[in-house]
Structure 1
Amino acid sequence: MGKETKNLMLEVSAGIVFFTVAAMVAACFMYPNRAVFAGLLLGMVIAMAMFLSMALVLERSMKTEDPKTVQKRSVISAVIRYLLLIVILVTVIIRFSGWFNPVAVVIGVLGLKAGAFLQPAIHKIAVRRTKGE
């Protein structure tokens, strides 16, 4: 992976963590329960894993010449990612709802979207800091 790709991955990951911390602060005031915090952390871990999977698939796809192979790999990996997400959510709901709040897990997974939306702002902050040094 190139330096720009690694920086992008760090910026999105920082956005995911920032979203999770903000959700935890909000949970302190709205619904302070241990299962909620554990659910948010589990959701963050799942979001990070999904993001890493997406990044690796895109990195591999950039090296492939055949567009049909790229499309096939991308679709298969996306289906596998979301099937695993559904299996994890169902398992949490059925077996571990006392430990992890299922709604909090879903909110934590949505940190992936928030991380992608926060990436441009985090990038601007990172660029300012490197220019200031």
Structure 2
Amino acid sequence: MIKEDKKLTLEVAAGIGIFTGAALLLALIIYPRPSVFAGLLLGMVLSLAMFFSMAAVVKLCLKTQSKKFTVMFTATSSLARYMILFAVLLVVVRKYSDLFQPIAVVIGMFGVKAGAFMQPLIHRMIQKNK
């Protein structure tokens, strides 16, 4: 099961990278500014951090036998994850909006969703090549 978890995690991370690469290419055509590229890359880093955090929480909760612990731990982890994300966005908007385009950061953070949706396609492509 652990080998399968690693494959799944890498497939979703690859989807996040593919989404960010496509967004960077689109930004190069539509609005080529360094702050946009930096924002997209920061958004990718944030989405990868969120995904790896979620994966670690799920793995830990699968190992435990306590339903009460699982419910409390997932809720507090999710709340902490979104509070940190909100704090980073607030700092970017308030202090570093000249370095990181805030809208590009938000678009980059959607990579976690795109990576999850692209995982089955990436998995099929990897299996087809083997």
Same fold (TM over 0.5): yes
Per the alignment, residue 12 of structure 2 pairs with 12
Per the alignment, residue 38 of structure 2 pairs with 38
Q: Give a deviation string over 1:57-110, Cα, whole Å, max 9, x none.
A: 000000110111101000000000000000000000000000000000000000
RMSD over aligned Cα, in angstroms?
0.8
Per the alignment, residue 99 of structure 2 pairs with 99
Q: Distance in 2 between matches of 1:50 and 1:85?
A: 8
Q: Give a deviation string over 1:113-132, Cα, whole Å, max 9, x none.
A: 000000000000011112xx
Q: 1:41 offset after TM fit, Å?
A: 0.2
Per the alignment, residue 123 of structure 1 pairs with 123
Alignment of 1:75-94 (within 5 A): 75-94=75-94
Q: Where do 4+ consecutive residues of structure 1 move more than 2 Å?
A: none
Per the alignment, residue 21 of structure 1 pairs with 21
Q: Distance in 2 between matches of 1:128 and 1:42?
A: 32
Q: Distance in 1 between matches of 2:108 and 2:95?
A: 19
Per the alignment, residue 51 of structure 1 pairs with 51
Unaligned runs of 5+ in 2: none
TM-score by length of 2: 0.98
Unaligned runs of 5+ in 1: none
- Percent identity over the alignment? 48
TM-score by length of 1: 0.96
* Total equivalences in the alignment: 130
